[in-house]
Structure 1
Amino acid sequence: MKALFAKHGVEQNVDPVEEHVKKTIVTAARETWEIYFSRLFPASGSVGTGVQVLSVSHSGIKLLKTVKSSAAAPDYFRVLRPYTYADILFVTIPSENMLEFNLTNEKLILFSAKAPQVKHLIDTFINEIKKDSDYVIAERNFVTDDRSLLSFHKGDIIKLQVMDGLEKGYSYGCVVRKKVVFLEELKRDTQDFGWKFGAVFGRSAAFPAEHVHPVAPPDFLSLPLDRKSEPRGGAGQFAVSSAVAVAVASTMAAHEIDQTIEKVSLDGFADGDLDERALLDSKYDMLEFAKKYFRQGPSGKGDSLKSKNKNRASREPTEMIKFSKTPLTESLIEFTDPSMNRVAADLFLSVMRFMGDAPLRGMTEQEVVSNFLKLIEEFTLMKDEAYCQLLKQLTANTSSKPDSCQRGWRLLYILTAFHRCSEVLKPFLLKYLQQSFRSAGAQYQGIAKACEQNLKQTFQYGGRMVPPNNMELKAMMAGRSSKRQLFLFPGGIERHVKIKTCTVALEVIEELCYEMGLHKLEAMEEYAIFLVTNRALHTSTTAASASVLFQSTAGQNVRPLNKHEYILDVATEAELVDSDFSFWFRRVVWTQPLKFDNELCVAMHYNQILPDYRKGLLNVLPHGKVSDQQFHQISKLAALQHRAKDIIFIPSIHELSEYIATPLFKKQPPQQWVIMVTQHMQQVQTLNPHQARAQFLGLVSAFPMFGSSFFYIHSSSSTTFYAPCIVAVNQHGLHFLHKNTHELMAVVPLVEVQSSRTQRPTAGTSYPYVDLTLGDMNTQRVIQLQLEQGLELCRVIAMQVENMMSLREKRLTLPPSEITML
């Protein structure tokens, strides 16, 4: 700016200055002085963010922090994080004093008493920027098989183009920016429940204008965020850089601002690789955290000397981290929003009640825990406050209740299973736990170690969602952190697995696969856990159903589990619906070779394949004709099934009718089948049951439909095949088979499947629908299938597509903040 003054000969107290020079200087100040042309509002983020002020200007918003300067120089603002209006999609006020910024990559939560004024000002700037823009952003999905219309998904950027003769309410354009989503599971109970596998764009067409709203033009969209200098090393780096990650509720933000933050904030914790030396540093003692982030001592204005001394003592960090016999009236951590004090007081009262240091007032332990967890879930800003309160009550505990400290540790065990702390608090919390279980002779070593393990799982998988039921809570209070859960293999084979508080489905799959001798990750990815519950019978008959992977009696509901779902969360919810629920273990994808050396592995696959084979689903017979070679092959398979039951006698005609699919059994007289099978019985008598099953699997693995999951389709919108029919889903695609002859009517390769989603049944129908979006870069179409097991079909297709992409080394990995939820 000095150079600009010198260039135009501008000096202090010198007039006149030409008008164009004034405009040049004002424009330069507007663009270079960060907050000079801004309105400032008081605001706060989460613990440790340091956010004190929100700056709003024509260029965007900035999170500011007041920095103390020397005595001679005045205090100044430091910019913690800037956001341009290209980053801000829209702003809402979910509750009083709360601002929710919906950004392109994440959400930013701030609290300000001036929330309405902030929103109004930002909305004004955004509307001005969008006024002359030729670009819009999709607010929700619009998928259609009408070639005259443009399909897109929520979050896509569309360039508007000139087109004459459009219907009212329609615009014309093409998608120019789309975030690719890889196998992202959508929210349940929404219209768009399903999985999207890729992005198809580049074509121009008309679309309903109501599905989009204006957005800044691409040159504005692509402006990079200014990276401001920050203090390097020490507490300054930790308090500022890592703090921003908490403010925007995203660990990714911390890395974007400063790549070295990983070493300080122990972000490798989820991988199990902790920097032990960092935790030895005294700067991660809870006392240091209290000095930085707890409330400071009172000003003392208007207080008596006695009350002033008492307040000063209670506000000393050394006292604030120690046990208190009296309830808190304000939060330990200093928030600018005074309403947080009430929440903090309620949290602390829950802690005291659970530890026995305050009366329950008619509440049960389970209700206290539920209220405690619900408060934290509702006010996510208070996660660190809850952790700090618990650590306070565990430190130098002088309660008159003998089990107060033990109960406090139990509550901490529950908290670590449900909610992660912030990146700021993480190293302090870890050091506290590690000191507790590593100190020689420490009383609570075991549960402290369990808390650390829970925290690791919570950071990796997101934390439990369903509060513990009465039975689980009693087990926790008794010191039992695991239970034996039954998992059913095909054929009724039972396996019990030790389920801990934070065990997820993936860990169960790994354990069961290990027992079957499967140790490669690629092999484990082909299996899944299913929840089976009873439900009311449908009025229409399902006798023709051919779904064998999800074989269930009438009135059963089979739901596939996401591999990151917590087993005890699923079990707790299922218990409310059906106390006789069960977990099934099944193979879904069949690309990895079969293993024949492990008896459990062979028995599992044999029992899963057998029902499909006996219904004649695995082998496709053109025009229903059976060759002599096929007759002999079917006879040998019947003999192997008989030997697998450890029977050496000749099978009866009734037994043969079970071993051979009905359409095939009718192809020749029953006695002829007996003669042919008897010949093969002589060859297989030397085999033991395990060898007979293995040989059976080896033979049927060559059949066309081997490794398929079968579903019965009640109706379809497609004109290339007719329903009712059967769809077989395998690594090669979706095969639509005739419901009786099982002849192939149509095939959809996996590479053509763009997305699948379920829709609720319409009025007067019994079963839900599945919309399949099919096509390539040039063409797209949507077919609608009606079937009972829509969710299962979507999940199987998802696993097959994921496997296909993995095999082709096209797996796309994006950080969570880069994934667009459709």
Structure 2
Amino acid sequence: MQEFALRYFRKSQALPGQTDEGATGKDTDSLVQYTKAPIQESLLSLSDDVNKLAVASFLALMRFMGDQSKPRGKDEMDLLYELLKLCQEEKLRDEIYCQVIKQVTGHPRPEHCTRGWSFLSLLTGCFSPSTRLMPYLTKFLQDSGPSQELARSSQEHLQRTVKYGGRRWMLPPGEMKAFLVLGVADGHCGTPWGGGVSPTGDHWPTDHWLTDPATCLGRKDKPLACFLFTCQEELCQQMGITEPQEVQEFTLFLIKEKGKLVRPLRPAEYLNSVAVDQDVSLHSRRLGWETPLHFDNSIYISTHYSQVLRDYLQGKLPVSAKADAQLARLAALQHLSKANRNTPSEQDLLAYVPQQLQRQVNMASIKNLMGQELRQLGGHSPQEAQISFIEAVSQLPLFGYTVYVALRVSMQALSGPALLGLNRQHLILMDPSSQNLYCRIALKSLQRLHLLSPLEEKGPPGLELNYGSADNPQTIWFELPQAQELLYTTVFLIDSSASCTEWPSVN
């Protein structure tokens, strides 16, 4: 940073009357070292109008760090917003980076210095410096890392910002308050999974969030400081998933308005960039299953178990009502996965059977067979039971698909509800009773997706698909409550460069 200062700082700000070559190492120390007096002009050579903003940002930084008294009527939140708003001016970003680095270098008061580092960690997660400053900033953070934990989190945030573009909107008050409570107070600003404890004292366990995200996101009383700069890639890392191909098979779904609006998040979207409203939650889901499963991480196992169990019980992974042995084994594995060694009650047994089969199956036969399975599987731990359940369900039809229940389809052969499966290659239609496959549409053949309004009052919306070639155009439509989700998910799975695909229209 001394080298950067000699090259790019104002001469008057640096060493008046001295050339770069004439400066000694001792002389240059003051260029990027704490000063107790506010600057009177910008560190970098800036235009007059931007120079005034630079002087204001330095004073705001000193006030936030505690080196200058706060003006009447302004608190820490106001100062943070002032600094971040100034950072929105692209010409000022390198200047503010240099100001923060200067004030945390050689600061005599550790608690004030920590506040400066906390802001730098926040800054690196929101805005990138110029390519000119980037190598110097990176080296500064690398050199500071061994002695400063926030330097390491700043490195991670900076890498994420370069890759994904940073947070695209100003942080909402809830997140800013959480940053002040958690990030500034204990020095864990925005570090994913950094021991997140909410201002109300509640703990956010990682595996609980992954399997039940609605308990943590989109609630006013639980702002997520530990998720400030988290996206799907970081969540995958917690499951032990590092291969890019497998990371791409996961996505987060944004759920708004009690399920009325559901869409997958783009890979570069940050969790808290979208979870800003009280009625918003996020749901992690695996959309692709090309990569072989590997059960070497407890969070990985519980996350996959949660997803396939939900699909199984909702009837999206069809099982014959006459397959008593298969139903009994899957019920036994569910029971053992709860670490429950007691004899299952009638109510337990019913809850282990898919909803649409509960009135069709022979419960007495399944109960008897389940007892045999429990005796054979008695040595299974809850985690082993979850793995066995996933492996057993993976043999069912439609495993590996995102499945929807279409209430009506424009095919005479399918007079009742049908199961609609979607993966990265194609869309298929299956009769849930016979498990016969009636239609397979390659996603690359889709020409247009058209969202249709309900035909009847309070009826489900529809989705029309135009596909095929110019010589043989074809059309099919479905009626289902999740028509909008299906549309967004289909578009998400199609290569974004496919110019033939249109975004939704409504008539």
TM-score (structure 1 length as normaliser): 0.46
- Specify the alignment match of 1:565 in structure 2: 269
The Cα of 1:448 is off from its aligned counterpart by 3.5
Task: Identify the match of residue 59 of structure 2 among 340, 346, 349.
Answer: 349
Task: Quote the residue 2:4 is aligned against.
Answer: 289
Q: How many Å separate the matches in 2 of 1:330 and 1:492?
A: 48
1:618 paired with 2:349, answer no
Aligned partner of 1:428 in structure 2 is 136
**Counterpart of 1:727 in structure 2: which amino acid?**
L
Instruction: Tell me how far 1:577 sits from its aligned partner.
Output: 1.6
| Equivalent residue, structure 2, for 1:224 | none
**Is the CA contact 1:588–1:796 (under 8 Å) kept in the aligned structure 2?**
no
Deviations 1:539-573 (A, max 9, x none): xxxxxxxxxxxxxxxx67655444443345455x2
In structure 2, list runs of 5 or more residues that go unmatched: 189-193, 197-203, 217-223
Deviations 1:591-629 (A, max 9, x none): 344557878766654543344444544338xxxxxxxxx
Shift of the 403–741 alpha-carbon distance from structure 1 to 2, 3 Å rule, reads: same
Q: Which amino acid aligns with 2:278?
A: V
Instruction: Report the Cα distance in structure 2 between the residues aligned to 1:705 and 1:356, rounded to whole angstroms.
Output: 60
Aligned partner of 1:333 in structure 2 is 44
Aligned to 1:609: 308
Higher helix share: 2
| 1:372, distance to aligned residue in structure 2 (A) | 1.1
- Within 2, Cα distance between the matches of 1:686 and 1:778? 59
Over 3 Å counting, the alpha-carbon distance change for 1:505 and 1:600 in structure 2 is closer
User: Is 2:100–2:116's contact at 8 Å kept on the other side of the alignment?
Assistant: yes
Give the alignment partner of residue 278 of structure 2, picking from 569, 577, 581: 577
* Structure number having the greater strand percentage: 1
Structure 1 residues 758 and 493, CA gap change in structure 2 (3 angstroms): closer
SS at match of 1:586: strand
SS in structure 1 at match of 2:95? helix
1:491 touches 1:604 (CA, 8 Å); kept in 2? no
1:458 aligns to 2:161 (yes or no):
yes
Confirm whether residue 508 of structure 1 aligns to residue 235 of structure 2.
yes
- Among candidates 87, 96, 103, match of residue 386 of structure 1: 96
Alpha-carbon distance, 1:800 to partner: 5.2
Alpha-carbon spacing, 1:717–1:448, altered in 2? closer, same or farther (3 Å): same
Q: 1:745-799 deviations in whole A, cap 9, x for unaligned?
A: 533223324676879999x989777675634576667767665545643564367
Summarize the Cα distance change of 1:663–1:724 in structure 2 as closer, same or farther, 3 Å threshold.
closer
CA–CA distance in structure 1, aligned partners of residues 302 and 33 of structure 2: 58
Match of 1:373 in 2: 84
Indicate which of 793, 797, 802 corresponds to 2:486. 793
- Describe the SS at the equivalent of 1:577: coil
**Superposed displacement of residue 421, structure 1:** 0.9
- The aligned runs of 1:275-674 (5 Å cut-off) are 285-286=1-2, 288-297=3-12, 321=32, 323=34, 327-328=38-39, 330-335=41-46, 337-361=47-71, 362-377=73-88, 379-395=89-105, 403-437=111-145, 445-465=148-168, 466-467=170-171, 468-481=175-188, 482-484=194-196, 485-486=204-205, 487-488=208-209, 499=226, 502-512=229-239, 514=240, 521-530=244-253, 535=257, 560-570=264-274, 573=276, 576-578=277-279, 583-594=282-293, 604-619=303-318, 634-644=323-333, 645-646=335-336, 658-660=351-353, 670=362, 674=364
Aligned-partner SS, 1:746: strand
Does the CA contact (< 8 Å) of 1:523 and 1:592 recur in 2? Answer: yes
Which range is displaced more, 591-600 or 462-471? 591-600
Give the Cα–Cα distance (whole angstroms) in 2 for the partners of residues 617 and 733 of structure 1.
17
Q: State the identity as a percent.
A: 27
Residue pair 1:591, 1:731 contacting (<8 A) in 2 also = no
> Per-residue CA shift, 1:275-331, capped at 9, x if unaligned?
xxxxxxxxxx43x43343333559xxxxxxxxxxx9869x99956655555545543
Q: SS of 1:706's equivalent?
A: coil
Partner amino acid, structure 1, of 2:161: T
Task: Please name the residue that 1:16 is paired with.
Answer: none
Q: CA RMSD in A?
A: 5.0
| Structure 2 residue corresponding to 1:752, chosen from 417, 442, 445 | 445
Check the 8 A contact 2:236/2:242 in 1, yes or no.
no
For residues 74 and 225 of structure 2, the distance between their equivalents in structure 1, rounded to whole angstroms, comes to 32
Offset, 1:635: 0.4
Q: Contact 1:642 / 1:651 at 8 angstroms: preserved in 2?
A: no
Counterparts of 2:134 and 2:155, CA distance in 1: 11
SS of the aligned residue for 1:707 comes to coil
Q: 1:354 Cα deviation (Å)?
A: 1.4
Counterparts of 1:504 and 1:374, CA distance in 2: 23
Distance change in 2, residues 1:732/1:374 (3 Å): same
TM-aligned CA deviation for residue 504 of structure 1: 2.9
| Whole-angstrom CA distance in 1 between matches of 2:69 and 2:466 | 58
Moved more, 415-424 or 599-608: 599-608
Alignment: residue pair count: 457
Please say which of residues 482-491 and 360-369 is displaced more in the overlay: 482-491
C-alpha displacement of 1:424:
0.7
